[in-house]
Structure 1
Amino acid sequence: MKHKGSCHCGKVAFEVEGEIDGAMACNCSICQRKGSLLWFVPRSQLKLLTPEDQISTYSFNKHQIKHRFCPTCGMHPYGEGTDPKGNAMAAINIRCLEDIDLKAIPIQDFDGKSI
């Protein structure tokens, strides 16, 4: 299934392919503040509709994750990194997807604060 998503102002727009069978709520220093609910997909399933040079990036700690956000409204619709096997992954903030019933998606807590 194809899902459309964007930041609040719409400047950062994307499509992502896949079935949302769950999402993760992380309590690390950035995720807790952002309030993201993350759905992980292979990076190849994320298609940017906004040129990448118009999207801002924030990295911290070990700089392994690119937290992508809109320079206009500040919304964080997705992030990019690699899984433990080295595969390129995207972490989609499902709160930024259109027509999603958040109550119907199982949410798993992740203790990122302890990493």
Structure 2
Amino acid sequence: MKGQCHCGAVQIMLPGPPVEVLQCNCSLCRKTGWIGGYWHPDEVTVETQPEALNAYVQGDKMITLWNCAICGSHTHWTPRTAPPDRMGVNMRIFDYTDWQHLPVRAVDGARF
């Protein structure tokens, strides 16, 4: 699968669709419109120029959320802990037909 931010400056390649997508209601996911798929970092290829990415480290400093510096699209997050076991990719950067058939699991991140 190949997805990209709105302007195309950040492109992400995946080996295929995830088993499910997660829709979280934490403040970060609500405000960014995040619907996530998750893979091991070795399975994800991010193609972009370094200056085309902005990093945001959220409050508990567990992840870095990346967005395109040009169009602002939130593309993915990477863990700040080692060893990284998974990273998240915003499924909204892919064509909806690539993932519309997948189950969407609601996660109550607002309570944590």
Calculate the TM-score normalised by the size of structure 1. 0.85
Which residue of structure 1 aligns with residue 64 of structure 2?
66
Calculate the TM-score normalised by the size of structure 2. 0.87
Paired residues of 1:18 and 1:41 also in contact (CA < 8 A): no
Percent of aligned pairs sharing the same letter: 24
- 2:110 paired with 1:113: yes
Which residue of structure 1 aligns with residue 76 of structure 2?
78
Report how far residue 91 of structure 1 moved.
0.4
Paired residues of 2:18 and 2:38 also in contact (CA < 8 A): no
Aligned residues: 112
Secondary structure at 2:12's aligned position in 1? strand
Which residue of structure 2 aligns with residue 93 of structure 1?
90
> Where does the alignment leave 5 or more consecutive residues of structure 2 unmatched?
none
**How do 1:15-94 and structure 2 match up within 5 A?**
15-81=13-79, 86-94=83-91
Please identify, of 98-107 and 27-36, the stretch whose mean Cα deviation from structure 2 is larger.
98-107
Paired residues of 1:14 and 1:47 also in contact (CA < 8 A): yes
Counterpart Cα distance in 1 of 2:39 and 2:20:
11
Report the AA paired with residue 4 of structure 2.
Answer: S
Q: Please tell me the root mean square deviation across aligned C-alpha atoms, in Å.
A: 2.0
